[in-house]
Amino acid sequence: MDVRGRLFIGGEWTAATDGAEFTTHDPATGTVLATCAEAGQADVDAAVDAARAALADPAWAALPAAERARLLWRVAELIERDADHLAELETRDQGQPLGVARGVSVAGAAEHFRYYAGWVTKIEGTVSPVSFPNTLHFTRREPVGVCALITPWNFPLMIAAWKLAPALACGNTVILKPAEQTPLTSEHLVRLCAEAGFPPGVVNLITGGPTAGKALVAHPRVDKVSFTGSTEVGQEIVRASADDLKRVTLELGGKAPSIIARDADIDAAVRGNVQGALLNSGQVCAAYARFYVDRSRAEEFTEKLAAAVSALRLGPGLAADTQLGPLVTGEHLARVDALVKEGVGEGAELVTGGLRADGDLAAGNFYRPTVFAGVRDDMTIARQEVFGPVLPVLTYEDEDELAARANDTRYGLAAAVWTSDLATAHRLAGDVRAGAVFVNMPPIPDPAAPWGGFGASGWGREMGSAALDVFTETKGVWMHHG
Ligand code: NAD
Protein backbone atom coordinates (compact mmCIF):
# COMPACT_ATOMS: atom_id res chain seq x y z
CA MET A 1 0.00 0.00 0.00
CA ASP A 2 1.60 3.27 -1.05
CA VAL A 3 -0.34 6.09 0.53
CA ARG A 4 0.83 9.69 0.85
CA GLY A 5 -1.22 11.65 3.32
CA ARG A 6 -1.53 15.40 2.91
CA LEU A 7 -2.93 18.31 4.87
CA PHE A 8 -6.26 19.88 3.89
CA ILE A 9 -6.30 23.63 4.46
CA GLY A 10 -8.84 26.09 3.06
CA GLY A 11 -10.07 23.54 0.52
CA GLU A 12 -6.60 22.61 -0.81
CA TRP A 13 -4.58 19.41 -0.32
CA THR A 14 -1.01 20.29 0.47
CA ALA A 15 2.29 19.02 1.86
CA ALA A 16 3.71 20.51 5.06
CA THR A 17 5.28 23.94 4.47
CA ASP A 18 8.70 22.64 5.46
CA GLY A 19 8.19 19.30 3.68
CA ALA A 20 8.27 17.29 6.93
CA GLU A 21 6.71 13.82 6.87
CA PHE A 22 6.14 10.85 9.15
CA THR A 23 5.27 7.21 8.50
CA THR A 24 2.54 4.95 9.84
CA HIS A 25 2.86 1.18 10.16
CA ASP A 26 0.59 -1.82 9.73
CA PRO A 27 0.31 -3.24 13.26
CA ALA A 28 -0.29 -6.76 11.94
CA THR A 29 3.00 -6.90 10.01
CA GLY A 30 5.14 -3.99 11.14
CA THR A 31 5.55 -2.79 7.53
CA VAL A 32 5.31 0.87 6.53
CA LEU A 33 1.80 1.70 5.40
CA ALA A 34 1.81 5.38 4.55
CA THR A 35 3.85 8.55 4.56
CA CYS A 36 1.97 11.58 5.82
CA ALA A 37 2.61 15.30 6.03
CA GLU A 38 3.81 16.41 9.45
CA ALA A 39 2.29 19.82 10.09
CA GLY A 40 4.39 22.58 11.63
CA GLN A 41 3.46 25.94 13.14
CA ALA A 42 3.03 27.60 9.71
CA ASP A 43 0.55 24.91 8.67
CA VAL A 44 -1.41 25.19 11.91
CA ASP A 45 -1.52 28.98 11.46
CA ALA A 46 -2.80 28.57 7.89
CA ALA A 47 -5.47 26.07 8.98
CA VAL A 48 -6.68 28.36 11.77
CA ASP A 49 -6.78 31.32 9.35
CA ALA A 50 -8.78 29.27 6.86
CA ALA A 51 -11.23 28.10 9.55
CA ARG A 52 -11.56 31.68 10.88
CA ALA A 53 -12.29 33.05 7.40
CA ALA A 54 -14.85 30.31 6.69
CA LEU A 55 -16.67 31.11 9.92
CA ALA A 56 -17.51 34.58 8.58
CA ASP A 57 -18.07 33.50 4.99
CA PRO A 58 -21.78 33.75 4.07
CA ALA A 59 -21.36 30.49 2.10
CA TRP A 60 -21.25 28.83 5.52
CA ALA A 61 -22.46 31.41 8.05
CA ALA A 62 -25.64 32.20 6.12
CA LEU A 63 -26.32 28.69 4.84
CA PRO A 64 -29.93 27.79 5.76
CA ALA A 65 -30.20 25.09 8.42
CA ALA A 66 -31.92 22.69 6.03
CA GLU A 67 -28.96 22.99 3.63
CA ARG A 68 -26.49 22.36 6.44
CA ALA A 69 -28.50 19.28 7.40
CA ARG A 70 -28.33 18.07 3.80
CA LEU A 71 -24.52 18.33 3.82
CA LEU A 72 -24.26 16.18 6.95
CA TRP A 73 -26.70 13.63 5.55
CA ARG A 74 -24.64 13.51 2.34
CA VAL A 75 -21.49 12.69 4.33
CA ALA A 76 -23.32 9.72 5.90
CA GLU A 77 -24.25 8.50 2.43
CA LEU A 78 -20.68 8.90 1.18
CA ILE A 79 -19.31 7.01 4.20
CA GLU A 80 -21.66 4.17 3.29
CA ARG A 81 -20.70 4.35 -0.38
CA ASP A 82 -17.03 3.96 0.60
CA ALA A 83 -17.69 1.60 3.52
CA ASP A 84 -15.53 -1.26 2.21
CA HIS A 85 -12.59 1.02 1.47
CA LEU A 86 -12.87 2.81 4.81
CA ALA A 87 -13.14 -0.46 6.75
CA GLU A 88 -10.07 -1.91 5.04
CA LEU A 89 -8.13 1.30 5.61
CA GLU A 90 -9.07 1.33 9.31
CA THR A 91 -8.07 -2.31 9.72
CA ARG A 92 -4.70 -1.80 8.02
CA ASP A 93 -3.91 1.37 9.93
CA GLN A 94 -5.32 0.54 13.37
CA GLY A 95 -5.38 -3.27 13.41
CA GLN A 96 -9.01 -3.91 14.40
CA PRO A 97 -10.70 -6.94 12.77
CA LEU A 98 -12.46 -6.06 9.52
CA GLY A 99 -15.87 -6.96 11.01
CA VAL A 100 -15.30 -4.43 13.81
CA ALA A 101 -14.11 -1.81 11.33
CA ARG A 102 -17.21 -2.33 9.17
CA GLY A 103 -19.82 -2.94 11.87
CA VAL A 104 -18.62 -0.54 14.58
CA SER A 105 -16.28 2.10 13.14
CA VAL A 106 -17.75 2.75 9.69
CA ALA A 107 -21.37 2.12 10.68
CA GLY A 108 -20.94 4.26 13.81
CA ALA A 109 -19.42 7.13 11.83
CA ALA A 110 -22.27 7.11 9.28
CA GLU A 111 -24.89 6.96 12.02
CA HIS A 112 -23.38 9.97 13.79
CA PHE A 113 -23.59 12.11 10.69
CA ARG A 114 -27.16 11.01 10.08
CA TYR A 115 -28.17 11.60 13.70
CA TYR A 116 -26.75 15.14 13.78
CA ALA A 117 -28.17 15.91 10.33
CA GLY A 118 -31.52 15.49 12.07
CA TRP A 119 -30.56 17.95 14.82
CA VAL A 120 -29.50 20.83 12.58
CA THR A 121 -33.09 22.03 12.08
CA LYS A 122 -33.94 21.59 15.78
CA ILE A 123 -31.27 23.68 17.52
CA GLU A 124 -33.69 26.06 19.17
CA GLY A 125 -33.47 28.99 21.56
CA THR A 126 -35.98 29.80 24.28
CA VAL A 127 -38.14 32.76 25.27
CA SER A 128 -37.42 33.62 28.90
CA PRO A 129 -40.14 35.14 31.15
CA VAL A 130 -38.03 38.14 32.27
CA SER A 131 -39.73 40.58 34.68
CA PHE A 132 -38.43 43.80 33.12
CA PRO A 133 -41.47 45.64 31.68
CA ASN A 134 -42.12 45.66 27.95
CA THR A 135 -39.16 43.44 27.22
CA LEU A 136 -38.82 40.34 25.13
CA HIS A 137 -35.90 38.06 25.99
CA PHE A 138 -34.96 35.23 23.71
CA THR A 139 -31.87 33.07 23.31
CA ARG A 140 -29.88 32.18 20.22
CA ARG A 141 -27.64 29.13 20.02
CA GLU A 142 -24.57 30.31 18.14
CA PRO A 143 -21.51 28.36 16.99
CA VAL A 144 -18.57 28.47 19.43
CA GLY A 145 -16.30 29.28 16.48
CA VAL A 146 -13.09 27.58 15.34
CA CYS A 147 -12.88 24.12 16.92
CA ALA A 148 -9.75 21.97 17.17
CA LEU A 149 -10.81 18.31 17.19
CA ILE A 150 -7.98 16.10 18.48
CA THR A 151 -8.51 12.33 18.34
CA PRO A 152 -6.79 9.14 19.59
CA TRP A 153 -5.70 5.99 17.75
CA ASN A 154 -8.17 3.40 19.03
CA PHE A 155 -11.26 4.24 16.92
CA PRO A 156 -9.94 6.99 14.62
CA LEU A 157 -12.82 7.19 12.15
CA MET A 158 -15.66 6.81 14.64
CA ILE A 159 -14.25 9.28 17.17
CA ALA A 160 -13.58 11.82 14.40
CA ALA A 161 -17.27 11.50 13.49
CA TRP A 162 -18.32 11.91 17.16
CA LYS A 163 -16.74 15.36 17.03
CA LEU A 164 -17.09 16.48 13.41
CA ALA A 165 -20.80 15.77 13.06
CA PRO A 166 -22.08 17.83 16.04
CA ALA A 167 -19.47 20.57 15.50
CA LEU A 168 -20.64 21.04 11.90
CA ALA A 169 -24.32 20.62 12.83
CA CYS A 170 -23.92 23.65 15.12
CA GLY A 171 -22.29 25.77 12.40
CA ASN A 172 -18.69 25.75 13.65
CA THR A 173 -15.60 25.43 11.50
CA VAL A 174 -13.09 22.75 12.41
CA ILE A 175 -9.51 21.60 12.26
CA LEU A 176 -9.30 17.85 12.71
CA LYS A 177 -6.04 16.40 14.04
CA PRO A 178 -6.04 12.61 14.12
CA ALA A 179 -3.50 10.59 16.11
CA GLU A 180 -0.16 10.19 14.35
CA GLN A 181 -0.44 6.38 14.55
CA THR A 182 -3.73 6.26 12.61
CA PRO A 183 -4.42 9.24 10.33
CA LEU A 184 -5.66 7.46 7.19
CA THR A 185 -9.43 7.14 7.66
CA SER A 186 -9.62 10.71 8.99
CA GLU A 187 -8.03 11.88 5.76
CA HIS A 188 -10.62 9.96 3.76
CA LEU A 189 -13.45 11.34 5.92
CA VAL A 190 -12.24 14.89 5.22
CA ARG A 191 -12.22 14.06 1.48
CA LEU A 192 -15.84 12.98 1.81
CA CYS A 193 -16.75 16.23 3.59
CA ALA A 194 -15.23 18.16 0.69
CA GLU A 195 -17.09 15.99 -1.82
CA ALA A 196 -20.35 16.50 0.08
CA GLY A 197 -19.98 20.23 -0.55
CA PHE A 198 -18.84 21.89 2.69
CA PRO A 199 -17.40 25.28 1.65
CA PRO A 200 -13.58 25.61 1.67
CA GLY A 201 -12.15 26.23 5.14
CA VAL A 202 -15.09 24.72 7.05
CA VAL A 203 -13.33 21.36 7.46
CA ASN A 204 -9.53 21.37 7.66
CA LEU A 205 -7.10 18.52 8.36
CA ILE A 206 -3.79 18.74 10.15
CA THR A 207 -1.73 15.55 10.52
CA GLY A 208 1.22 15.12 12.84
CA GLY A 209 2.03 14.26 16.43
CA PRO A 210 1.88 16.05 19.78
CA THR A 211 3.68 19.12 18.39
CA ALA A 212 0.83 19.80 15.97
CA GLY A 213 -1.71 19.14 18.74
CA LYS A 214 0.06 21.54 21.08
CA ALA A 215 0.22 24.25 18.41
CA LEU A 216 -3.54 23.98 17.91
CA VAL A 217 -4.30 24.10 21.62
CA ALA A 218 -2.02 27.10 22.13
CA HIS A 219 -3.37 29.03 19.13
CA PRO A 220 -5.10 32.24 20.29
CA ARG A 221 -7.61 32.13 17.42
CA VAL A 222 -8.91 28.66 18.26
CA ASP A 223 -12.09 28.97 20.33
CA LYS A 224 -12.65 25.40 21.41
CA VAL A 225 -10.72 22.16 21.85
CA SER A 226 -12.58 18.86 21.78
CA PHE A 227 -10.12 16.16 22.80
CA THR A 228 -10.29 12.40 23.20
CA GLY A 229 -7.19 10.68 24.52
CA SER A 230 -5.20 10.04 27.64
CA THR A 231 -5.89 11.73 30.97
CA GLU A 232 -2.33 13.09 31.12
CA VAL A 233 -2.64 14.88 27.77
CA GLY A 234 -6.11 16.08 28.80
CA GLN A 235 -4.54 17.74 31.84
CA GLU A 236 -1.88 19.37 29.62
CA ILE A 237 -4.61 20.70 27.34
CA VAL A 238 -6.48 22.25 30.27
CA ARG A 239 -3.29 24.00 31.40
CA ALA A 240 -2.42 25.15 27.87
CA SER A 241 -5.89 26.56 27.18
CA ALA A 242 -6.18 28.43 30.48
CA ASP A 243 -4.72 31.73 29.24
CA ASP A 244 -7.40 32.15 26.56
CA LEU A 245 -10.09 30.36 28.60
CA LYS A 246 -10.85 28.23 25.56
CA ARG A 247 -13.90 26.00 25.69
CA VAL A 248 -12.62 22.48 26.38
CA THR A 249 -14.35 19.10 26.18
CA LEU A 250 -12.37 16.05 27.30
CA GLU A 251 -13.06 12.34 26.83
CA LEU A 252 -10.25 10.64 28.70
CA GLY A 253 -9.19 7.31 30.14
CA GLY A 254 -11.17 4.79 32.13
CA LYS A 255 -10.90 1.69 34.30
CA ALA A 256 -14.44 0.37 34.18
CA PRO A 257 -15.52 -2.00 36.97
CA SER A 258 -17.74 -4.92 36.00
CA ILE A 259 -19.68 -6.39 38.92
CA ILE A 260 -20.82 -10.00 38.66
CA ALA A 261 -23.43 -10.55 41.38
CA ARG A 262 -24.22 -13.86 43.12
CA ASP A 263 -27.42 -14.31 41.08
CA ALA A 264 -25.84 -13.45 37.70
CA ASP A 265 -26.24 -15.76 34.71
CA ILE A 266 -22.55 -16.69 34.55
CA ASP A 267 -22.54 -17.90 30.94
CA ALA A 268 -24.17 -14.67 29.76
CA ALA A 269 -21.81 -12.64 31.97
CA VAL A 270 -18.77 -14.41 30.50
CA ARG A 271 -19.96 -13.78 26.94
CA GLY A 272 -20.79 -10.14 27.62
CA ASN A 273 -17.62 -9.45 29.57
CA VAL A 274 -15.39 -11.02 26.91
CA GLN A 275 -17.01 -8.65 24.43
CA GLY A 276 -16.89 -5.77 26.89
CA ALA A 277 -13.23 -6.34 27.73
CA LEU A 278 -11.77 -7.42 24.41
CA LEU A 279 -13.41 -5.46 21.64
CA ASN A 280 -10.53 -3.97 19.63
CA SER A 281 -8.14 -6.02 21.83
CA GLY A 282 -9.19 -4.03 24.89
CA GLN A 283 -8.14 -0.71 23.34
CA VAL A 284 -11.46 0.85 24.33
CA CYS A 285 -11.82 3.66 26.87
CA ALA A 286 -14.98 2.08 28.33
CA ALA A 287 -13.58 -1.49 28.28
CA TYR A 288 -14.46 -3.59 31.31
CA ALA A 289 -11.13 -3.69 33.08
CA ARG A 290 -11.64 -5.00 36.65
CA PHE A 291 -14.08 -7.74 37.53
CA TYR A 292 -15.65 -7.86 41.00
CA VAL A 293 -17.16 -11.33 41.33
CA ASP A 294 -19.19 -12.69 44.25
CA ARG A 295 -16.80 -15.05 46.03
CA SER A 296 -19.18 -18.01 45.67
CA ARG A 297 -19.17 -17.65 41.85
CA ALA A 298 -15.57 -16.53 41.33
CA GLU A 299 -14.04 -19.90 40.49
CA GLU A 300 -16.72 -20.75 37.93
CA PHE A 301 -16.54 -17.27 36.38
CA THR A 302 -12.73 -17.24 36.19
CA GLU A 303 -12.51 -20.72 34.64
CA LYS A 304 -15.12 -19.97 32.01
CA LEU A 305 -13.63 -16.53 31.31
CA ALA A 306 -10.15 -17.99 30.83
CA ALA A 307 -11.49 -20.72 28.54
CA ALA A 308 -13.43 -18.19 26.47
CA VAL A 309 -10.57 -15.73 25.98
CA SER A 310 -7.99 -18.39 25.18
CA ALA A 311 -10.30 -19.83 22.50
CA LEU A 312 -10.37 -16.49 20.61
CA ARG A 313 -8.56 -16.54 17.26
CA LEU A 314 -5.74 -14.00 17.20
CA GLY A 315 -4.68 -12.79 13.77
CA PRO A 316 -4.41 -9.96 11.24
CA GLY A 317 -7.56 -7.86 11.09
CA LEU A 318 -7.93 -8.55 7.37
CA ALA A 319 -8.17 -12.36 7.85
CA ALA A 320 -11.81 -13.45 7.76
CA ASP A 321 -11.67 -15.67 10.88
CA THR A 322 -9.79 -13.21 13.15
CA GLN A 323 -11.53 -12.37 16.41
CA LEU A 324 -8.70 -10.46 18.09
CA GLY A 325 -6.34 -8.20 16.15
CA PRO A 326 -2.94 -6.76 17.07
CA LEU A 327 -2.25 -3.87 19.43
CA VAL A 328 -1.74 -0.57 17.68
CA THR A 329 2.05 -0.21 18.04
CA GLY A 330 5.06 -2.05 19.40
CA GLU A 331 5.46 0.65 22.09
CA HIS A 332 1.90 0.10 23.25
CA LEU A 333 2.46 -3.69 23.37
CA ALA A 334 5.56 -3.14 25.50
CA ARG A 335 3.52 -0.99 27.88
CA VAL A 336 0.80 -3.66 28.19
CA ASP A 337 3.42 -6.36 28.74
CA ALA A 338 5.17 -4.29 31.43
CA LEU A 339 1.86 -3.88 33.31
CA VAL A 340 1.22 -7.64 33.06
CA LYS A 341 4.69 -8.32 34.50
CA GLU A 342 3.93 -5.86 37.28
CA GLY A 343 0.76 -7.84 38.03
CA VAL A 344 2.78 -11.05 38.33
CA GLY A 345 5.39 -9.25 40.42
CA GLU A 346 2.74 -7.95 42.81
CA GLY A 347 1.45 -11.48 43.36
CA ALA A 348 -1.60 -11.82 41.10
CA GLU A 349 -2.19 -15.33 39.73
CA LEU A 350 -1.73 -15.50 35.95
CA VAL A 351 -4.49 -17.85 34.73
CA THR A 352 -3.91 -17.55 30.99
CA GLY A 353 -1.99 -15.35 28.51
CA GLY A 354 0.68 -12.97 29.75
CA LEU A 355 2.87 -12.96 26.65
CA ARG A 356 3.01 -11.84 23.04
CA ALA A 357 2.07 -14.28 20.30
CA ASP A 358 4.89 -16.00 18.40
CA GLY A 359 5.16 -18.11 15.22
CA ASP A 360 3.35 -16.55 12.25
CA LEU A 361 2.26 -13.61 14.38
CA ALA A 362 5.70 -12.68 15.73
CA ALA A 363 6.20 -9.76 13.32
CA GLY A 364 2.97 -8.03 14.41
CA ASN A 365 1.94 -6.54 17.75
CA PHE A 366 -0.10 -9.53 18.92
CA TYR A 367 -0.65 -10.08 22.63
CA ARG A 368 -2.37 -13.13 24.12
CA PRO A 369 -5.54 -12.29 26.06
CA THR A 370 -4.64 -12.41 29.72
CA VAL A 371 -6.71 -13.31 32.79
CA PHE A 372 -5.51 -12.72 36.34
CA ALA A 373 -7.12 -14.20 39.46
CA GLY A 374 -6.49 -13.34 43.12
CA VAL A 375 -6.17 -9.64 42.29
CA ARG A 376 -6.25 -7.12 45.15
CA ASP A 377 -7.68 -3.60 44.90
CA ASP A 378 -4.27 -2.02 45.45
CA MET A 379 -2.47 -3.86 42.64
CA THR A 380 -1.37 -1.81 39.63
CA ILE A 381 -3.41 -3.97 37.20
CA ALA A 382 -6.55 -3.17 39.24
CA ARG A 383 -5.86 0.57 39.31
CA GLN A 384 -4.06 1.68 36.15
CA GLU A 385 -5.63 1.82 32.71
CA VAL A 386 -3.96 -0.95 30.66
CA PHE A 387 -5.84 -0.34 27.37
CA GLY A 388 -5.12 -3.91 26.28
CA PRO A 389 -6.39 -7.49 26.55
CA VAL A 390 -5.93 -7.86 30.31
CA LEU A 391 -8.74 -9.01 32.63
CA PRO A 392 -8.10 -8.87 36.40
CA VAL A 393 -10.58 -10.81 38.56
CA LEU A 394 -11.22 -9.63 42.13
CA THR A 395 -13.73 -11.10 44.57
CA TYR A 396 -16.19 -9.64 47.08
CA GLU A 397 -18.01 -11.04 50.10
CA ASP A 398 -20.80 -8.57 50.60
CA GLU A 399 -22.65 -6.36 48.12
CA ASP A 400 -22.43 -3.46 50.57
CA GLU A 401 -18.68 -3.14 49.97
CA LEU A 402 -19.02 -2.92 46.19
CA ALA A 403 -19.81 0.73 45.51
CA ALA A 404 -16.91 1.97 47.64
CA ARG A 405 -14.47 -0.43 45.93
CA ALA A 406 -15.76 0.33 42.43
CA ASN A 407 -15.52 4.07 43.17
CA ASP A 408 -11.99 3.90 44.58
CA THR A 409 -10.46 5.20 41.32
CA ARG A 410 -9.71 8.54 39.74
CA TYR A 411 -11.69 7.47 36.66
CA GLY A 412 -15.45 7.26 36.09
CA LEU A 413 -16.26 6.57 32.46
CA ALA A 414 -18.24 3.32 32.45
CA ALA A 415 -19.30 0.47 34.74
CA ALA A 416 -21.25 -2.78 34.39
CA VAL A 417 -23.51 -4.82 36.63
CA TRP A 418 -24.47 -8.43 35.89
CA THR A 419 -27.48 -9.53 37.93
CA SER A 420 -31.01 -10.85 37.54
CA ASP A 421 -32.23 -8.80 40.50
CA LEU A 422 -33.73 -5.44 39.58
CA ALA A 423 -33.14 -4.00 43.05
CA THR A 424 -29.40 -4.81 42.88
CA ALA A 425 -29.22 -3.34 39.37
CA HIS A 426 -30.91 -0.09 40.38
CA ARG A 427 -28.98 0.26 43.63
CA LEU A 428 -25.58 -0.18 41.98
CA ALA A 429 -26.53 1.93 38.95
CA GLY A 430 -27.20 4.72 41.44
CA ASP A 431 -24.18 4.18 43.69
CA VAL A 432 -21.39 3.66 41.15
CA ARG A 433 -19.85 6.91 39.93
CA ALA A 434 -19.54 6.63 36.15
CA GLY A 435 -20.83 8.43 33.06
CA ALA A 436 -22.54 5.24 31.87
CA VAL A 437 -23.65 2.13 33.77
CA PHE A 438 -24.50 -0.92 31.66
CA VAL A 439 -26.70 -3.62 33.17
CA ASN A 440 -26.27 -7.10 31.66
CA MET A 441 -24.64 -5.77 28.49
CA PRO A 442 -21.30 -4.70 27.02
CA PRO A 443 -20.45 -0.97 26.80
CA ILE A 444 -21.75 0.34 23.51
CA PRO A 445 -22.01 3.97 22.43
CA ASP A 446 -25.06 5.23 20.54
CA PRO A 447 -25.39 8.69 18.98
CA ALA A 448 -28.63 9.25 20.92
CA ALA A 449 -27.13 8.64 24.40
CA PRO A 450 -24.74 11.02 26.20
CA TRP A 451 -21.14 9.74 26.45
CA GLY A 452 -18.46 10.98 28.84
CA GLY A 453 -17.04 10.57 32.28
CA PHE A 454 -16.89 11.58 35.93
CA GLY A 455 -13.62 12.63 37.56
CA ALA A 456 -10.41 12.08 35.59
CA SER A 457 -12.41 10.50 32.73
CA GLY A 458 -13.17 13.94 31.39
CA TRP A 459 -15.22 17.11 31.06
CA GLY A 460 -18.56 17.39 29.30
CA ARG A 461 -20.53 14.89 27.25
CA GLU A 462 -20.54 13.94 23.60
CA MET A 463 -23.49 12.49 21.67
CA GLY A 464 -27.19 13.15 22.10
CA SER A 465 -28.33 16.72 22.66
CA ALA A 466 -25.42 17.12 25.13
CA ALA A 467 -23.02 17.58 22.20
CA LEU A 468 -25.07 20.56 21.00
CA ASP A 469 -24.50 22.24 24.36
CA VAL A 470 -20.73 21.95 24.08
CA PHE A 471 -20.56 23.09 20.45
CA THR A 472 -22.74 26.22 20.90
CA GLU A 473 -22.67 29.40 22.93
CA THR A 474 -26.00 30.72 24.27
CA LYS A 475 -26.66 34.39 23.56
CA GLY A 476 -29.53 36.25 25.22
CA VAL A 477 -31.20 39.02 23.23
CA TRP A 478 -33.16 41.67 25.19
CA MET A 479 -35.64 43.77 23.20
CA HIS A 480 -37.30 46.69 24.88
CA HIS A 481 -40.37 48.00 23.11
CA GLY A 482 -41.23 51.32 24.69
P1 NAD B 1 -2.92 10.48 23.63
O2 NAD B 1 -3.44 11.34 24.70
O3 NAD B 1 -1.51 10.07 23.68
O4 NAD B 1 -3.10 11.18 22.20
C5 NAD B 1 -4.36 11.60 21.73
C6 NAD B 1 -4.19 12.71 20.72
O7 NAD B 1 -3.61 13.86 21.33
C8 NAD B 1 -3.28 12.38 19.54
O9 NAD B 1 -3.85 12.96 18.39
C10 NAD B 1 -1.97 13.07 19.91
O11 NAD B 1 -1.17 13.42 18.80
C12 NAD B 1 -2.48 14.31 20.59
N13 NAD B 1 -1.56 14.92 21.58
C14 NAD B 1 -0.58 14.32 22.29
N15 NAD B 1 -0.02 15.21 23.15
C16 NAD B 1 -0.68 16.39 22.96
C17 NAD B 1 -0.59 17.68 23.57
N18 NAD B 1 0.28 17.94 24.54
N19 NAD B 1 -1.44 18.66 23.16
C20 NAD B 1 -2.36 18.41 22.21
N21 NAD B 1 -2.50 17.21 21.59
C22 NAD B 1 -1.66 16.21 21.97
O23 NAD B 1 -3.94 9.22 23.62
P24 NAD B 1 -3.85 7.90 22.77
O25 NAD B 1 -2.73 7.09 23.34
O26 NAD B 1 -3.90 8.20 21.31
O27 NAD B 1 -5.26 7.22 23.13
C28 NAD B 1 -5.47 6.37 24.20
C29 NAD B 1 -6.19 7.09 25.32
O30 NAD B 1 -7.42 7.65 24.84
C31 NAD B 1 -6.60 6.16 26.44
O32 NAD B 1 -6.29 6.73 27.68
C33 NAD B 1 -8.12 6.05 26.29
O34 NAD B 1 -8.80 5.74 27.46
C35 NAD B 1 -8.48 7.38 25.75
N36 NAD B 1 -9.78 7.31 25.04
C37 NAD B 1 -10.89 7.86 25.63
C38 NAD B 1 -12.14 7.78 25.00
C39 NAD B 1 -13.39 8.35 25.65
O40 NAD B 1 -14.41 8.46 24.98
N41 NAD B 1 -13.35 8.73 26.91
C42 NAD B 1 -12.24 7.16 23.76
C43 NAD B 1 -11.09 6.63 23.19
C44 NAD B 1 -9.86 6.72 23.84
Contact criterion met (CB below 8 Å) for 180 and 150? no
Question: Could you read off the pLDDT of 66-109 as tens digits, one per residue?
Answer: 999 999 999 999 999 999 999 999 999 999 999 999 999 999 99
Question: To 5 degrees, how large is the angle CA 113–CA 119–CA 120?
Answer: 90
Per-position DSSP letters for 114-129, written without gaps between them:
HHHHHHHTT----EE-
Task: Give, using CA atoms, the residue closest to atom 12 of ligand 1.
Answer: 210
CA of 152 to the centre of ligand 1 (A): 4
- Residue 223 CA to residue 172 CA, distance in Å, equals 10
pLDDT of the residue at 5? 87
Nearest to 36 by CA among 229, 180, 188, 186: 180
Closest CA to 83 of 110, 50, 45: 110
Q: Which residues line ligand 1 (CB under 6 A)?
A: 150-154, 177, 179-180, 209-210, 213-214, 217, 228-230, 233, 236-237, 251-254, 285, 385, 387, 413, 453, 458
Banded model confidence at residue 385, pLDDT cuts 50, 70, 90: very high
CA of 395 to the centre of ligand 1 (A): 32
- The string over 420-443, giving b where at least 16 C-beta atoms fall within 10 Å of a residue's C-beta and e elsewhere, is eeeebbebbeeebbbbbbbbeebb
* Ligand 1 atom at minimal distance to the Cα of residue 453: 41
DSSP string, 80-147: HHTHHHHHHHHHHHH---HHHIIIIIIHHHHHHHHHHHHHHTT----EE---STTEEEEEEEEE--EE
Measured between alpha carbons, how far is residue 153 from residues 160, 180, 189 in Å? 10, 8, 15
- What is the number of the ligand 1 atom nearest to the C-alpha of 254? 34
The Cα 101–Cα 164 span in angstroms is 19
**Can you give the pLDDT at residue 4?**
75
pLDDT tens track for 201-240: 999 999 999 999 999 999 999 999 999 999 999 999 999 9
Tell which one of 112, 151, 154, 446 to mutate to probe ligand 1, the residue whose CB is within 8 A of the most ligand atoms. Answer: 154
Averaged pLDDT, 110-137: 98
- Of the pLDDT bands very low, low, confident and very high (cuts 50, 70, 90), residue 1 is low
Backbone angles phi, psi at 426, to 5 degrees: -70, -40
Q: Which residue's alpha carbon is at the smallest distance from atom 43 of ligand 1?
A: 285
Q: From residue 419, give the alpha-carbon distance in Å to each of 148, 427, 432, 438.
A: 42, 11, 15, 11
- Just list the catalytic residues: 251, 285
Atom 13 of ligand 1, nearest CA residue: 210
Mutate to test the pocket of ligand 1, among 230, 241, 283, 386 (most ligand atoms within 8 A of CB): 230
> What is the whole-number distance in angstroms between the Cα of residue 309 and the centre of ligand 1?
27
Distance CA 24, CA 290 (A): 32
Residue nearest to atom 8 of ligand 1 (CA): 179
Cβ atoms within 10 Å of 412's Cβ, excluding its own: 23
> What distance in angstroms lies between residue 214's CA and the mean position of ligand 1's atoms?
12
Q: How much distance in Å is there from the Cα of 176 to the middle of ligand 1?
A: 13
Q: Measure the CA–CA gap between 429 and 9, rounded to whole angstroms.
A: 45
Nearest residue (by CA) to ligand 1, atom 30, is 229
Distance 9 CA to ligand 1 centre (A): 23
Our mutation pick for probing the ligand 1 site, out of 147, 153, 182, 411, counting the most ligand atoms within 8 A of Cβ, is 153
Residue 312 reports pLDDT greater than 60: yes
Backbone CA torsion sign across 175, 177, 178, 184: positive
pLDDT digits (tens, 9 = 90+) for 223-282: 999 999 999 999 999 999 999 999 999 999 999 999 999 999 999 999 999 999 999 999
H/E stretch holding 149 reads strand 146-150
Q: Across the strands, what pairs with 193?
A: none
